[in-house]
């Protein structure tokens, strides 16, 4: 059959890989959106004060850990309360409306992997859409290719968005800072009173190693 001939010629390998990448992207989406991003639990408060000075010796001593005004748990360093999730999140980065979940200490690395896989899928899909276009200045051509043209434009827009998001996150990770800390540096007590602009920065290599490993 034609399917067997295509398989013998290796023509089914690329579509199979593309489908597997799409499935991987979907699974990562649900994994990141449904998992605990690092919610602070009241029973964990006893150990919060231990090791804080070891993690950041540059933080001034007059910066006190405070209780959250919403859920009343003692916030660890770099945690923030998310009013949409109704929880304090460790190493809070941002609340992602696309995931309907916070991006925090536990799911941030998987979020980066998800963005990377999604970018590969979009680039591949954009290449396929572009290869199917041949341009002619006629109304008949536009009628026959309008769906493919709109699909390519949508893929292009999403690719730019995902690429910018991935690059910005990788930059912040390499500096060992979060989106929330980067945007609200002047309002965060442990950053505003620190002698260093970013007391968490330990060099690009060590920052990346500690984040992903």
Catalytic residues: 96
Q: Which tokens hold the place of 167?
A: 């690059």
Q: Mind giving me the DSSP string for 10-59?
A: TTTHHHHHHHHHHHHHHHHHHHHHHS---BPPGGGGGGTSTTHHHH-TTS
112, 93 in Cβ contact below 8 A? no
41, 89 in Cβ contact below 8 A? no
119, 155 in Cβ contact below 8 A? no
194, 58 in Cβ contact below 8 A? yes
Nearest CA-CA partner of 40 in 132, 98, 105: 105
């Amino acid at each position: 059959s034609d399917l067997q001939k295509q398989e013998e010629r290796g023509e089914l390998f690329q579509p199979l890989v593309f489908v597997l990448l799409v499935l991987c992207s979907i699974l990562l989406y649900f994994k990141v959106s449904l998992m605990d991003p690092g919610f602070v639990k009241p029973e964990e408060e006893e150990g919060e004060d231990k090791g804080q000075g070891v993690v950041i010796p540059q933080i001034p001593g007059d910066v006190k850990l405070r209780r959250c005004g919403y859920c009343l748990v003692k916030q660890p360093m770099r945690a923030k309360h998310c009013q949409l999730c109704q929880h304090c999140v460790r190493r809070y980065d941002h609340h992602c409306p696309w995931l309907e979940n916070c991006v925090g200490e536990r799911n941030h690395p998987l979020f980066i992997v998800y963005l990377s896989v999604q970018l590969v899928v979009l680039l591949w899909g954009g290449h396929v859409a572009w290869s199917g276009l041949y341009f002619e200045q006629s109304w008949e051509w536009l009628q026959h290719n309008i769906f493919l043209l709109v699909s390519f434009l949508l893929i292009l827009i999403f690719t730019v968005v995902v690429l910018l998001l991935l690059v910005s996150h990788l930059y912040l990770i390499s500096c060992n800072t979060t989106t929330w800390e980067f945007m609200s540096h002047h309002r965060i007590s442990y950053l505003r009173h620190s002698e260093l602009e970013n007391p968490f920065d330990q060099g690009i290599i060590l920052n990346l190693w500690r984040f992903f490993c």
